[in-house]
Amino acid sequence: MKRTTISLPDQLAHVLDREARRRGVSASEIAREALAAHLGLADQPRTLGFVGLGRSGFTDTAERFEEYLAEEFERDRNR
């Protein structure tokens, strides 16, 4: 683990220390959790923003993807 030093405004440092005491963990743990959540690295399901962009209208794509790809490759080859 890499050690990093950051400067916090007094009020934020006070709130961080108070939360760490309340939870019984270190201020570093609170900071790591907050940074991970802010940067999208927290232990929570991540959303995939590209899902649904290429809606095909088919409801069975997962089961028949090879067939659909073969059809598209064939169409592309015949162009």
What are the tens digits of pLDDT across the range 32-74? 999 988 888 877 665 555 556 666 777 887 788 888 888 888 8
Q: Is the pLDDT of residue 75 over 90?
A: no
Distance CA 53, CA 73 (A): 20
Contacts 24+ apart (CB under 8 A), 49-54: none
Is residue 2 assigned to a domain?
no
Is residue 62 assigned to a domain?
yes
**Token pair for residue 42?**
């927290």
Is residue 27 assigned to a domain?
yes
DSSP single-letter state for residue 22:
H
Residue type, 58: F
Identify the pLDDT of residue 53. 62
Q: Residue 55: which domain range?
A: 10-77
Distance CA 59, CA 30 (A): 43
Is residue 38 assigned to a domain?
yes
Instruction: Please give the tally of structural domains in the chain.
Output: 1
Identify the pLDDT of residue 20. 94
